[in-house]
Chain A
Amino acid sequence: MSVASTNTRKYGAVTLGTLMPWIVCALILLILPQVLDSRGQLTIMSQMSIMIVFALAYNMLLGQGGMLSFGHAVYVGMGSFLCLHVMNSSGFSSIPLPILPLIGGLFGLGFAMIIGSFSTRSAGTVFAMITLGIGELMAACVLIIVVFFGGEEGISGYRDEGLPFFGLDFISHIEVFYLIAFWLFTSAALMFLFSRTPVGRMANAVRDNPERAQFLGYSSRWVRFVSFSASGFFCGIAGGLSAILFEIATESDLNVAASGVILLIVFLGGVGVFWGPVIGAIVFILLQTVLGFQTHLWELYVGVIFVGMVMFFPGGIAGLIVAHGVAISLGKLNLLIRPYLTCVLPGIIGVLGLCGLIEMIFHVREAPTGEYEMTLFWTDLNTHHVWPWLIFGGIALAGILIARNQAPVLKEAWAQANTIDGEPS
């Protein structure tokens, strides 16, 4: 290609194609609360939206900057606590509620800049250990510095005492959802654009090869610091949204367990793709609420899914979806349908059978004495009969054996679907 012809290439043109995903997302955010409008559904969707902001902000570090943080809930928690103090202050009546998350964001930014000034000196283990230490430190501070954190009870407030915003006072859940959705959309768009700026590109470069980046004139440390601070800003926004939704902040918002959950969410969704964390947050909140409503053991299942994901699909759910791109572009996706039906489906059924066995064992051990009846997969059964055990055991065994048997077929089909025709194997 000659230089002359590259001049005709349009750089950074905004087309309908590039905007389409954003328009679709905005429409979903607008329409969804009209369809799912019960209080519980709105709360779950609000929670999900906050989690998405947090997960995207976390992935600015993990996916784009290659920095593994074990204490990132701190910045969300700090934003949340500060916003509640603002809500409780006399000045709150002159601040419209929709700009409160921005205050949380700026506080998160400031706090991240302080911590980042020394923690971003290196990536890798040193960085991870510092973040873990800061996480523990802040969790301890919550219980010690009662003036700011309110001790074990935390800090609570009322969101409806702010300056009315075009007549809205944000008492109803749907108004709160739209407020959160607005910030979700804005934050996601800004984070996406950040990844396309010079410093965002260099974050990728530093992640891949910090030394090479140094020899291109960039201080790896400074690049990491900018990513870290930006991530802190969006975490603070998530914190402000959390303060608005729950009207309370406690130690559990910023402890190491909360930081662990976001790591799990981002890995589950996929670190390699911008929208991976979005999927992770949605799937996780669904598992937590829907599965958590069905069984006490939901955390066990989530844990197993997480371990399985990390071991077999390190790209996460988004990575799995993207991996199908080749087959789609070659028009060979249909090759995969049959093996999915004969291998993946029995596998899933087998795993569900296994889950049935686990649930029955749990029921036998934990149910009150004399209570033998339980409901499993919409079926009533007696755990002290032999039949349920045989049936679930049989399903588990058969499903997993079929899946194992069919695995080579699936592998073969996958290879087929990813090969360009006419190329020697």
Chain B
Amino acid sequence: MTPALELDDLRKSFGKAEIIRGLNLKVEKGERHAIIGPNGAGKSTMFNLITGRFPQTSGHVRLHGTDLAGLQPFQINRLGLSRSFQITNIFPKMTVFENLRCSLLWSLGYKYSFWNLVSRSRALNEGAEVILEQINLTARRDLPAGVLSYAEQRALEIGITIAGGADVIMLDEPTAGMSNTETDYIVNLIEKVTENKTLIVVEHDMGVVFGLADRISVLVYGEIIATGTPEAVRADQKVQEAYLGAALEEEH
């Protein structure tokens, strides 16, 4: 079976500095895969390479077997890959509902239409309402997204990310900067909305990672030093040395 996402010797250099140094990774369909690693390991860079935010220096990214080389972010999105951002990335002046409705437009086939009225499309409006309910923001429906609380904005961001119906969802630190209650809320939300989808998530909170992920990859200095089930990664000697030991000790 073709993996949902496959990285093949992916490399990225900024000037002389090689930030991503040959990544090989296969994420199967329906898998929940977490990427962990210390700050500056290249997790966000890896996300940006996969989603076409900037081009790789060499290597390949394949989505369901299709090579993404040279494709623009919007083209990659149309192939069924959607992402969220580490720093909240929503449409702050538009209402919450409008944010979600815009996220649905392409997948419902409206493209660049100027002969349909968005308010008259039942599929569009009901679809947006359903997601609004999924992310528990129905009460905020008509508020500008910019005035929501931080956790609500993060929830909205996840809603925008899943709205288009992409089957590969990439979340970049979805719980960053959240209190414990907010974290629980977002993790529940992620579990709910990514059911039967492939999830790739960068996360710092080990509780979240071990609770959510089927498999974990550990990224250190631009290289994946271990990939496996949470138990295997936890037991891995190299991971212990490089990263996890320190992080786990910190938590206790």
Residues of A within 8 A of B (CB): 1-3, 6-7, 9, 11-12, 193-194, 196-202, 204-205, 208-209, 211-220, 222-223, 226, 230
Which of A6, A196, A215, A219 has its CB near the most chain B CB atoms (within 10 A)? Answer: A215
Residues of A within 8 A of B102 (CB): 201-202, 204-205, 213, 216
In the complex, the answer to whether A197 meets B116 with C-beta atoms within 8 Å is yes
B82 at the interface (CB under 8 A from A): yes
In the complex, the answer to whether B90 meets A209 with C-beta atoms within 8 Å is yes
CA of A1 to CA of B83, assembled, Å: 28
CA of A193 to CA of B113, assembled, Å: 12
Residues of A within 8 A of B116 (CB): 197-198
B78 at the interface (CB under 8 A from A): yes
Which residues of B154-189 are within 8 A (CB) of A? 160, 164
In the complex, the answer to whether B94 meets A215 with C-beta atoms within 8 Å is no
Given contacts A197-B117, A217-B164, 9 further A-B contacts (CB under 8 A): A197-B118, A198-B118, A201-B98, A201-B101, A204-B91, A211-B73, A217-B77, A217-B78, A226-B114
In the complex, the answer to whether B77 meets A215 with C-beta atoms within 8 Å is yes
**Distance from B127 Cβ to chain A, minimum over Cβ atoms (Å):** 10
Chain B minimum-CB-distance residue to A217: B106
In the complex, the answer to whether B89 meets A197 with C-beta atoms within 8 Å is no
B66 at the interface (CB under 8 A from A): no
In the complex, the answer to whether A197 meets B130 with C-beta atoms within 8 Å is no
From known contacts A193-B117, A201-B98, A201-B105, infer whether A215 and B110 are also in contact, taking CB-CB under 8 Å. Answer: no
In the complex, the answer to whether B91 meets A208 with C-beta atoms within 8 Å is yes
CA of A218 to CA of B113, assembled, Å: 12
Which of A2, A193, A197, A223 has its CB near the most chain B CB atoms (within 10 A)? Answer: A197
In the complex, the answer to whether A201 meets B126 with C-beta atoms within 8 Å is no
From known contacts A3-B129, A6-B129, A216-B105, infer whether A198 and B119 are also in contact, taking CB-CB under 8 Å. Answer: no
From known contacts A3-B130, A201-B102, A204-B91, infer whether A214 and B113 are also in contact, taking CB-CB under 8 Å. Answer: no
A6, A212, A223: the one within 8 Å of B91 (CB): A212
| Size bracket, chain B contacts | 35 or more
| Chain B 105-131 per-residue mask, 1 if CB under 8 angstroms from chain A, else 0 | 111001111111111111001100110
B74 at the interface (CB under 8 A from A): yes
B198 at the interface (CB under 8 A from A): no
In the complex, the answer to whether A209 meets B91 with C-beta atoms within 8 Å is yes
Q: List 9 A-B contacts (CB under 8 A).
A: A3-B130, A9-B129, A199-B114, A200-B114, A205-B94, A205-B102, A208-B91, A217-B106, A218-B106
Residues of A within 8 A of B138 (CB): 1
CA of A2 to CA of B106, assembled, Å: 25
B191 at the interface (CB under 8 A from A): no
**Shortest 9 CB-CB distances between A and B: which pairs?**
A217-B106, A12-B120, A12-B119, A198-B110, A208-B91, A214-B73, A217-B77, A6-B129, A197-B114
In the complex, the answer to whether B114 meets A194 with C-beta atoms within 8 Å is yes
Interface SS majority for chain A: helix
In the complex, the answer to whether A12 meets B51 with C-beta atoms within 8 Å is no
**Distance from A390 Cβ to chain B, minimum over Cβ atoms (Å):** 50
CA of A199 to CA of B98, assembled, Å: 13
B74, B92, B111, B114: the one within 8 Å of A215 (CB): B74
In the complex, the answer to whether B103 meets A216 with C-beta atoms within 8 Å is yes
Residues of B within 8 A of A209 (CB): 89-92
B67 at the interface (CB under 8 A from A): no
In the complex, the answer to whether A212 meets B92 with C-beta atoms within 8 Å is no
Residues of A within 8 A of B98 (CB): 201, 204
In the complex, the answer to whether B89 meets A214 with C-beta atoms within 8 Å is no
**Distance from A120 Cβ to chain B, minimum over Cβ atoms (Å):** 13
CA of A52 to CA of B72, assembled, Å: 38
Which residues of B185-220 are within 8 A (CB) of A? none
Residues of A within 8 A of B120 (CB): 11-12
Residues of A within 8 A of B72 (CB): 214, 219
In the complex, the answer to whether B112 meets A226 with C-beta atoms within 8 Å is yes
From known contacts A215-B73, A217-B74, infer whether A198 and B91 are also in contact, taking CB-CB under 8 Å. Answer: no
B93 at the interface (CB under 8 A from A): yes
B53, B112, B115: the one within 8 Å of A223 (CB): B112
Residues of B within 8 A of A214 (CB): 72-74, 77
In the complex, the answer to whether B89 meets A208 with C-beta atoms within 8 Å is no
From known contacts A7-B126, A212-B90, infer whether A199 and B113 are also in contact, taking CB-CB under 8 Å. Answer: yes
In the complex, the answer to whether B129 meets A222 with C-beta atoms within 8 Å is no
Which residues of B55-90 are within 8 A (CB) of A? 72-74, 77-78, 82-83, 85, 89-90
In the complex, the answer to whether B133 meets A208 with C-beta atoms within 8 Å is no
Residues of A within 8 A of B107 (CB): 217
**Distance from A229 Cβ to chain B, minimum over Cβ atoms (Å):** 10
In the complex, the answer to whether A208 meets B92 with C-beta atoms within 8 Å is yes
**Distance from A407 Cβ to chain B, minimum over Cβ atoms (Å):** 27
B94, B130, B133: the one within 8 Å of A204 (CB): B94
Residues of A within 8 A of B110 (CB): 198
B89, B112, B121, B126: the one within 8 Å of A6 (CB): B126
CA of A394 to CA of B117, assembled, Å: 58
Residues of B within 8 A of A217 (CB): 74, 77-78, 105-107, 164
From known contacts A205-B94, A217-B164, infer whether A196 and B119 are also in contact, taking CB-CB under 8 Å. Answer: yes
In the complex, the answer to whether A11 meets B105 with C-beta atoms within 8 Å is no
**Distance from B186 Cβ to chain A, minimum over Cβ atoms (Å):** 19
Residues of B within 8 A of A1 (CB): 129, 133, 138
In the complex, the answer to whether A198 meets B73 with C-beta atoms within 8 Å is no
Residues of B within 8 A of A196 (CB): 117-119
CA of A196 to CA of B83, assembled, Å: 26
| Chain B 26-63 per-residue mask, 1 if CB under 8 angstroms from chain A, else 0 | 00000000000000000000000001010000000000
Residues of B within 8 A of A213 (CB): 74, 102
Which of B83, B113, B119 has its CB near the most chain A CB atoms (within 10 A)? Answer: B119
Chain A minimum-CB-distance residue to B166: A217
Chain A minimum-CB-distance residue to B115: A197
Residues of B within 8 A of A211 (CB): 53, 73, 89
Residues of A within 8 A of B94 (CB): 204-205, 208
CA of A3 to CA of B134, assembled, Å: 10
CA of A68 to CA of B164, assembled, Å: 30
In the complex, the answer to whether A3 meets B112 with C-beta atoms within 8 Å is no
In the complex, the answer to whether A11 meets B133 with C-beta atoms within 8 Å is no
Chain A minimum-CB-distance residue to B121: A11
